Amino acid sequence: MKNSPRYIFNFVIITGMFSAPLGGAFAQGGLGKYGAPFLSISPYARQVAMGEAFTALANDVNVMRYNVGGLGNLQHTIFSLHFHKWIDDTQQGALEGALPLPSRLGVLGFNLTYFNEGEITDLNSDFQQTGGITTSNDLVLSFGYGRPLPFLNNKLTFGAGVKFIRQDLGGVSASATGIDVGMLFVLKHVNFGATCKISPSAKFNSSINLPCCRKPFAAARPCGCPSARLIPKATASTN
C-alpha cells in the first residue's frame, strides 16, 4: 500500500464591482456619525482574510452576516460557535446555524453576535480621569430564510432576514431592528451576489443612524483552477 497525497488548491478571484453605502456613510461620515459601530466589525477569520469580499461567495454558515441570499445553497444542518479576544480588552463572538427544511422548502438561519468593548476610563471635560469605569455590551440577533428560485435550474437563490440590535453603553441602552435581503446567482465559473441592509436609527439621548449599505459583487473561478480545499488522496498499488 502506498499513499500518494494529492493537494488541490483553490484560487478564487474576488472582484468588488462597487460598494455604495446608503446615506453616504464614507463620503459624509465622521467619528461617531453612526451608532452600533460593532456592526461593521467582522468576527470571522475566513471573511476577514478575504477583505470581507464574501457577498458573491456566501457558501458557509456565516452567510447571515454578509449575504442572506446564500442560505438557499446550504444543504446540510450546520452550527458554529466561536469566541475570541480582539484589540486590547475587547471581545467578540458569534453563534449561528442553518437548518434546511424538508422537501426543498428552503433553509432557515439564525445568528447571535456579541461584542464587548472592554472597560472605558471615564474622563472629565479637561480630559482628567475621574476614577470611574464605563462598560459596553452589544448584541445582534438575526433570523433569516433563503431558498432557490424555481427557474434557471435553481442557480439563483434569494433570502431575507430580520435582525434585532441592542447596545448598552455606560448604563444607557438603545435598541433597533433591521432588515436584510440578498441574492446569489451561481454559474460554472462565476458567481454574482448582492445584498442590502436596512436599519433605522437607534436612540440613546438622541437618535443616531445605524450603518446601512448595499453591496453588489462578483466572484470568478478561472477555467482550469482546481477546487476549493487541500485534499489528501490515497492511492493503492500492488507490487
Q: What is the pTM of this model?
A: 0.69
Amino acid identity, residue 118? G
Concatenate the DSSP letters of all residues of 68-81 into one string.
GGGGGG--S-EEEE
pLDDT tens-digit map of 197-227: 887 655 544 555 555 555 555 666 565 454 4
Averaged pLDDT for residues 100-127: 87
Averaged pLDDT for residues 162-184: 85
Instruction: Confirm if 95 and 116 have CB atoms less than 8 A apart.
Output: no
pLDDT of residue 11 exceeding 70:
no
pLDDT tens-digit map of 13-72: 333 333 333 333 333 344 445 566 777 787 888 888 887 778 888 888 888 888 999 999
Instruction: Confirm if 197 and 180 have CB atoms less than 8 A apart.
Output: yes
CA distance 231 to 122: 53
Residue 192: what pLDDT?
A: 87
Q: Which DSSP category does 64 fall into?
A: H
Only one residue has cell 451608532, namely 35
